[in-house]
Every structure is written in structure tokens, then in C-alpha cells.
Amino acid sequence: MIKQSQGARLRIVDFLLEYLVLIAIVALILITAIVSPRFLTVDNFINLMRQFGPLSFVALGMTFIIVGGFIDLSIPGMISLVAMVTLMLVDTIGEIPALIIGLLLGTTMGFINGMILVISGASTQAKALFITFGMSLIYRSIALIITGGFPMNWGTLFEHPMPVTRTLGAGTLGILSHSFILFLFFLAVLFIFQSKTFLGRAIAYTGGNLNAAELGGIPTKRIMIFIYALCGFMTAVGAIVLFSRVSVTVPTVGTFFERDAIMAVVVGGTSLLGGKGSVLRTVMGVSLVILMSNCMNLMGVNTHMQEVVRGAILVLAVWLDHRRHERG
Amino acid sequence: MVKGNEDSESVYSGSEMLYFFMLEKGRMTVDTKKNEVILSIKNVSKSFPGVRALDDVSVAFSRGTVHGVVGENGAGKSTLMKILSGIYTKDAGTVVFDGEEIEHTTPVQSLKRGLSIIYQEFNLVNTLTAGENIFLGRYAELKGMRNIHRKARALLDSIGSTINTNKLVGDLSAAEKQMVEITKALSFDSKLIIMDEPSSSLTADELKRLFVIIDDLRKKGVTIIYISHKLDEIFQLCDMVTIIRDGKIIDTKSIEKLTRSDMIAKMIGREIENEYPERSRCVGETIMEVRDIRTRKLKDISFELKKGEILGFVGLVGAGRTEIVRAIYGADKAKELKIFINEKEVKIKNPRDGKRESIGLLPEDRKLEGLVLPFSVQANITMSSLEGITKFGFIRKAKEKDIAIRQIKNLSIKTPSPNTKAKTLSGGNQQKCIMGRWLEIDPDILILDEPTRGIDVGTKYEIYLLVKKIAEKGGSVIMISSELPEVLAMSNRVLTICEGRISGEFNPEIDSAHDIMDAAIG
């Protein structure tokens, strides 16, 4: 009898750990809906969807880095540089070519991150943390140097009308915003990539046990470069979606995106230890992070207090990640 | 017939025999004090979700004895020890240590009571000195570092060790680390020391020294619980033996009343015909020639491997055996290395190249280098063959499952399902998963680095049979093992490795074990 109830309790705990994010999301929606009547309005829904934009792309990219057992702090630098370079080029070479160059630039920066890790022999998350932190400073500073520190006011000061950027930033299809549709597209592609392809599985092997994967014939070095390049690409997409929403873009526009992306990935339940996780979990994580901001804004919680809550949730998520790992 | 005790001891030289004789005498002198019980365990049970790890276990350990605990992997030895040290809490039963009933305890409390455990992996801080490690956490009581080093020196001297107490533990050899652990146990005035597989990383010489120290402790009235897979050691060292199987105590007997074959039969619950299968004999033409491997550690390693051959590498831990095979497989960079396979020179720069040239490596440390522990048995088995069953980069799931089921069957891996996590399997079954990974690819050359380390007797035999089958089907095997009898019984040819060089080539059917060991020690 006692044994059985213990077993049942264990199962409940496992269940709670597994679906904690979903439960939290539902709870958050219910509470906010009750407390603030503005929450369940169409305006707020569109607002939420737009907020979903930039962070969700970055977090999708970050998912692969974290599943691969690494981390990328260079996001703020990459976002800033991609945004600035793309916007600077629009008037000279046209909008579409500039956007393509922006995407290539993001991918290249990620590729460089990965190459540096491979060449330096950095094979741990901790080393990746410091290397990408350094790279972020470099990318961000380049963004500041080439713009002289001035913001880009593409909304009013540019000659080019930038139709693609404008529709991406404000257009809707039915009730879905364009950026959200773009997000759904990337989610579908990356989900299939992660769960069905050899490369997707190889990333998990690399994150699960780098040594074993290497000895088992998995091309771990190529995988490291690939995940950083992929993250760079997704970050570039995030950067474009980000500046599409605001007509004035400052050179430090990417600040804190690495923090929110890591938080979304980990809160979603992808393990910081590597090997385990999925882009679907990241979607839940992003939803939670954004709903939480929205909820606290609607309830009029002070900005500094919001930071306290964010910090606490990140700590809690890492803690739970560890507990889950111990439970196996 | 099981290989008798006498047979296996023929590995040892005359002086060693004399030494064992002296051990025997030492055992006699303490006989009188043996009756007093220091630790008694009564009706202890422990369950984990889905497993009854210990089932109504009762056993008593007497003062001043060396008490062996043997059993297959997963039999419950570690669980029992972890309950004693306080890492796990028992579900039922009583534990009485030194006259005091112990209900709840923690590892630190156990230490202070005089019960210490020396784990296989050691519990030391590599970046502190030997002396600091011995008195870790007690610096204040000892009033300063000078005192610590002085006391550490005295304790080390008492077990006849010459380790410099100012040396960093990270720079010590495995044997020296063990000395530091023993000294640490003594510094707590331990009445009972549990040693978990203490010999797994020791050379024959170091093991002898360990035996002398253990014998000395026994004479001083300290009880040693000696957990080991190596039955030779149990017979040489222990007064009493407890055999555990499936969480139950099968038998506790004085060593004189047990034979080796009894013990094996009790451990596995059935009689094993042989400890080793009959040697395979199907050596053919040369398949691989290795010329002049040179790395920081290795000097001019050249040898040939023939088709269908089982080539044994014998040498001390750290002699360079693992480095040789890692260089061949492309896992480590070599300054100079020429490999010819079927008389064609091949370039192997990383394990992928090695795999492409049809070489497989079963690594030395299955948990760190072999398995992805949190992944399923299936994912672990298919890791290396997955790339071959893709279509446009997509994995064909049905084929993947087929591979896993085929290898689970083929190797009779004991797992509830292919989706079970690899870390829940016993050591032997984990090793089989890695074997299965390579058998699926069926490489021409399979390198096995310590394939049976920490694996129970029954599974060992299965692995021997597998290796033999590989050779008989025309595959070539390089086998590294620290267990001399194993290499000698399996191999067609043996190379001895000493200090980064090949120090001799032997035919294990003609040359004596003594000569081979001699060449390995250098």
C-alpha cells in the first residue's frame, strides 16, 4: 500500500516536472484574464503576436546550440550588426539584396563563432560562454563604429520605401501577423529537421556526450560549426523582424536578447546539459516569457520588479532542469 | 571445468608465492580476535522504483578481518555500501555499527563514527595537496597547515608510503591516490574501511603493496570490506566472503570452505563450464600494418595485424596501450604514423576516417567515451550506423528500430525495451550496447580497450564468445586488457607495451605468463 502511493506520488511529480511550463502558461492566462479585462482583447492578442516575433526566431536557433551542448552569448552583437549593416545597405543596393546580405552576415558570424570554438579546441559550454561573450562585444562594437553610434531612422529618413520590411512589421493575414506566419514556417522546418534527419540527431548525440559521439564517428566538429551558423542565421531573421517593427533602430538594439533566448529555451525544458530538448519546448518557453511580460505590464508591475521575477524564473528553470536530470 | 585456484596462481613468481604464504601466516595470528562483531546488518531492504535492490539482507562483519563481498554487476553490492555510508536510506531493517544502532546517517557522520568508504573513482580534490586532502574540512581543528602536513606524514609513514604530502593529488598516480584515500580513512580512526574495486586501476606491483597495507590494517584490528570482481584477489586476501545475487545474500562463508568454482556458481546462480572459450584459430594474411607511431608518449610503435587474428596488448596502466589504439583510430593526433590496410597506405586523421577504413573502437571508459547515458538503448546502438540508413538526410525510423532489435537479440542485451535509457542498464549490458553498435557496422578491424572491465563473470564469458565469433568470421581484433589471464586465454599473439614502446612479442600458447609479465613491466 505504502509502496503504491509512493509510486503514484513519484508519477505525479514526474508529470508536474514534465508539463510545468504548460501548466504555468494556462495559469498565467487565467490569472491575467481575471485580473485585467484588457488581456482578452484582439488588440492585446496582436500585440502579443508581434512581441513573439524577434525573440522566437532567436530562441529557435539557440535551441540547437543548447541541445548540442553549447551556448551562444553573441546574440546581442549579431542582432545589432545585422540590423545596422542591412539598414545601411538598403538605400544603395535595394531592399531585397540588403536583407539577403543581412541573413548571410548573420550566418557568417555564427560560422565564425563555431570555427573559433573548433580551432581553439574549446569543447565545453563554459569555454563557449566566454568566447561568444567576447565575440558579442566585437560584433556590437563594429555596429557602433560603422554607424558612428547614430540610430537608423528608416521609417522617415530613407529614400527606399522598403515594402517588404513594412509588411513584415505590420501586415496581417486574417488575425495572424506576417512575422508570426514566418515563425510558424521556420518552426515546422526546424521541427522536422530536428526530429527526422540524421543531422538533427547528430546534434543531440554531440550534446549528449561529445566524446562518445566523436568516437562513434559522428562529425562533431562540423556539427559545432553548423549549429552556430544556424543560430547566426536565425538570429539574423530575428534581427530583421525586430527592426521591421520599429522605424528607428539603435545600434545596440540586440541587448538582452541572449538572456531572453536562453531563458525561453531553458524554461521550455531543453536541458542546459545538452542532448535533450526540442523546438516545440522552446515555443512553450517563448510563450511563457512573453505572456509573463505582458501579464506583468497589464497588472502594472514595476519594471525592476519584473526583472526580479525573470531572474527568479531562470534560476528555477535551471534548478528544475537539474532535478529532471537526476531523476533520469 | 573451472580453472582451479592453483592454475591461476601459476601467473605469479616464486617470490610472490612466498609473499602470499606470509599473508596466509598473518591471517592465522589474528584468528583469536575474530569473533567480535563490528558491524551487523539485519533484514535490510531497499527498493527503487521498479527494482528491489536489496531484499532482507543480513550479514555480520567481524573486527580485524578482511571480508570480501562479491557478486555480479547490479547484484546490490553498491546499494548496500551506500546505505552503510548514508548516501541511501534503507527502507527496513537494522544496522548496528560498533554497538550502536544506526537509523539515519550521512557520509560525514559515518566517517566520524569510524566507517569510511574508498570509492573506485576516489573522492579527492585534484588541485589540493595530498596532506590537505587527507585532512580536508578539518584544517581548523588541526591548527594550521604545518600540523596537517606533519600528521599526514606520520600517517603515510605508518602505512609505509613515501608520498610527498606537498604534492598535488592531481599529479599522483592511481595507486598513490589510493594511499591518500586510505590515509584519509585512517585519520578518522576508522574501524571499518570499505574498498570498492580497489584494484581496478592498479598494476600488479601496486596491488601487492596494497595487500601488504590491508594485511597490516587487519593486524591492527581494522575491518576491511573488500568489494571486487577479481576472484583471485578475494582468495589471496580475504578471511570471509559474502556472495550477493539479485539483492539477496546467497552465502557468507570463511574462505577456506569455498572453491573458485563454488563461488562463481553462487554468483551467477548456475555453473559455468569454462571461464574462457577455446581459443579461435583462424589467423590469415596480414590486413593492417602499422609503422612508426610517434606521439609525445609513444616511440616507434610498429606491428602487423592479421586477418582473423586476436592480438592482445599487455602492459601496465599508463604504458601507452590506449594511446596506440587511439592514434590508429584517429582519436588522438600522432606526430608520425603510417598505416597500411591491405597493403595500401591510408590516412586516418579523425575517428570518422577510422570508421571509413573499417576500424571500430570500443573505448576504455564506456560511460565517458562510449555511451550517451541519458539516451535510449536504441539511440546508443544505432549511433554509428545511423548515417548509413538515411534517405536525403532523413532517418528511416523502421530500419533504425530493426537495427536496435537485431543487436539486442544478437547480444542478448537485458533491457525492458529498446527505448529504455542506457544509464539504467548494468555495466555488462551497457558494454554490449557499444559492442552492438560496432557489430552492426561489422568493421574489418575491431579494437577493444578493456572490454570486460567492471563486468560480471557471466557477461564476460558472453563477450569472450562474441570476440571469438568475430575472429572466426574473418574479423581482426586488437584486445587490450589489464587482466592477464584473459588476454592470454583469448589472444593468438601478444604484444607487451612498456613505457611507450613495444617491449616484446609472444605466443601465449608457448611462452609463460611469467615471461610476458616480465616484458610488460620492463
ipTM of the complex: 0.88
Of B47, B363, B387, the CB nearest to A198: B387
Do the Cβ atoms of B437 and A3 come within 8 Å? Answer: no
- Which domains are assigned to chain A? 43-319 (1.10.3470)
Percent of chain A scored above 90 by pLDDT? 59
B325 and B388 fall within a common domain:
yes
The torsion angle over the Cα atoms of residues B153, B158, B163 and B166, rounded to 10 degrees, is: -10
B61 and B23 fall within a common domain:
yes
Task: Say if B174 falls within a structural domain.
Answer: no
Task: Say if B221 falls within a structural domain.
Answer: yes
Determine the distance from the C-alpha atom of residue A82 to the mean position of all C-alpha atoms in its chain, rounded to a whole number: 16
Q: If 0-12 CB within 10 Å is exposed, 13-18 middle and 19+ buried, where does residue B180 land?
A: buried
Contacts B372 to A, Cβ<8 Å:
205, 208-209, 212-213, 275
Which DSSP symbol is given to B30? T
Helix (H, G, I), strand (E, B), or coil: what is residue A149? Answer: coil
Task: Say if B152 falls within a structural domain.
Answer: no
B295 and B244 fall within a common domain:
no
B383 and B513 fall within a common domain:
yes
Of A196, A209, A215, the CB nearest to B351: A215
Do the Cβ atoms of B375 and A198 come within 8 Å? Answer: no
Higher pLDDT: A167 or A225? It is: A225
Average pLDDT of A79-84?
96
Of B361, B375, B424, the CB nearest to A275: B375
Average pLDDT of A210-219?
95
Q: Give the start-end residues of each E strand in B228-281.
A: 240-245, 248-254
B291 and B427 fall within a common domain:
yes
Cβ–Cβ pairs < 8 A, chains A and B: 79
Give the Cα separation of A62 and A70 in Å (integer).
9
Q: What is the CATH number of the domain that holds B65?
A: 3.40.50.300
Give the Cα separation of A243 and A110 in Å (integer).
20
Q: Quickly state the pLDDT bin for A40 (edges 50, 70, 90).
A: confident
One-letter amino acid of B461: Y
Do the Cβ atoms of B393 and A198 come within 8 Å? Answer: yes
Task: Say if B334 falls within a structural domain.
Answer: yes
Residue at a domain's end among B236, B268, B300: B268
Give the Cα separation of A285 and A264 in Å (integer).
4
Contacts A198 to B, Cβ<8 Å:
386-387, 390, 393-395
Give the Cα separation of A158 and A169 in Å (integer).
16
DSSP per position, A166-209: HHHHH-EETTEEHHHHHHHHHHHHHHHHHHHBHHHHHHHHHHH-
If one counts the domains in chain B, the total is: 2
* Residues of chain B with a CB closer than 8 angstroms to some CB in chain A: 47, 49, 329, 331, 350-352, 354-355, 361, 363, 368-375, 379, 383-384, 386-387, 390, 393-395, 421, 423-424, 437
pLDDT of residue B198: 84
Q: If 0-12 CB within 10 Å is exposed, 13-18 middle and 19+ buried, where does residue B314 land?
A: buried
B404 and B437 fall within a common domain:
yes
Query: B231 lies in which domain range?
Result: 5-114+189-268
Give the Cα separation of B460 and B442 in Å (integer).
20
B314 and B252 fall within a common domain:
no
B387 and B456 fall within a common domain:
yes
B242 and B372 fall within a common domain:
no
B260 and B365 fall within a common domain:
no
B493 and B401 fall within a common domain:
yes
Contacts B387 to A, Cβ<8 Å:
198, 217
Radius of gyration for the alpha carbons in chain B, expressed in angstroms and rounded: 24
Q: If 0-12 CB within 10 Å is exposed, 13-18 middle and 19+ buried, where does residue A64 land?
A: buried
| Contact criterion met (CB below 8 Å) for B227 and B69 | yes
B351 and B467 fall within a common domain:
yes
Q: What is the 3-state secondary structure (H, E, C) of A255-290?
A: CCHHHHHHHHHHHHCCCCCCCCCCHHHHHHHHHHHH
* Residues of chain A with a CB closer than 8 angstroms to some CB in chain B: 3, 7, 10, 196-199, 201-202, 204-205, 208-209, 211-219, 221, 275-276, 325, 328
DSSP per position, B147-211: HHHHHHHHHHHHTT----TTSBGGGS-HHHHHHHHHHHHHHTT-SEEEEESTTTT--HHHHHHHH
Contacts A213 to B, Cβ<8 Å:
372, 383
Task: Say if B123 falls within a structural domain.
Answer: no
Q: Quickly state the pLDDT bin for A1 (edges 50, 70, 90).
A: very low
Average pLDDT of A189-218?
96
pLDDT of residue B73: 62
Task: Say if B159 falls within a structural domain.
Answer: no
Give phi and psi for B329, each to the nearest 5.
-75, -10
pLDDT of residue A6: 52
C-alpha cell at A114: 563555431
Do the Cβ atoms of A208 and B370 come within 8 Å? Answer: no
- Report the chain A residue with the minimal C-alpha distance to residue B437: A216
What does each of the 522 residues of chain B score in pLDDT, given as a tens digit? 443 444 444 444 444 544 554 454 444 444 444 468 899 999 999 887 656 788 899 999 999 999 999 876 667 888 888 888 888 888 889 999 988 888 888 888 888 888 988 887 788 888 999 999 998 888 877 777 888 899 899 988 888 888 898 989 888 888 888 889 888 888 888 899 999 888 877 777 888 888 988 998 899 899 999 988 777 888 999 999 999 887 889 889 898 888 887 887 787 665 555 678 889 888 999 999 999 999 988 988 999 999 999 999 988 777 889 999 999 999 999 999 999 999 999 999 999 999 999 999 999 999 999 999 999 999 999 999 999 999 999 999 999 999 999 999 999 998 889 999 998 888 889 999 999 999 999 999 999 999 988 787 788 889 999 999 999 999 999 999 877 788 889 999 999 998 889 999 999 999 887 788 778 876
Residues 6+ apart with CB under 8 A from A29: A39, A291
Average pLDDT, chain A: 90
Do the Cβ atoms of A212 and B384 come within 8 Å? Answer: no
What is the tens place of the pLDDT at every residue in A256-273?
899 999 999 999 989 999
Task: Say if B143 falls within a structural domain.
Answer: no
Q: Is pLDDT of A188 > 70? A: yes
Give phi and psi for B159, each to the nearest 5.
-105, 15
Give the Cα separation of B227 and B72 in Å (integer).
11
Give the Cα separation of A93 and B333 in Å (integer).
48
Give the Cα separation of B330 and A216 in Å (integer).
12
Name all contacts of B174-177 with Cβ < 8 Å and 24+ positions apart: B174/B201, B174/B202, B174/B206, B174/B317, B175/B201, B175/B202, B175/B203, B175/B206, B175/B209, B175/B210, B176/B130, B177/B122, B177/B124
Do the Cβ atoms of B424 and A199 come within 8 Å? Answer: no
Give the Cα separation of A124 and A83 in Å (integer).
30
C-alpha cell at A144: 557602433
Of B351, B372, B393, the CB nearest to A209: B372
Q: Calculate how close chain B gets to A205, using CA atoms only, in Å.
A: 7
C-alpha dist (Å) from residue B167 to B40, B147, B149, B446: 39, 16, 11, 40
Contacts B423 to A, Cβ<8 Å:
328
| Contact criterion met (CB below 8 Å) for B460 and B229 | no
C-alpha cell at A164: 517588404
Give the Cα separation of B466 and A92 in Å (integer).
69
Mutant choice from B47, B369, B381, B442 vs A, greatest count of A C-beta within 10 A: B369
Helix (H, G, I), strand (E, B), or coil: what is residue B362? Answer: strand
| Contact criterion met (CB below 8 Å) for B328 and B339 | yes
pLDDT of residue B522: 65
Task: Say if B309 falls within a structural domain.
Answer: yes
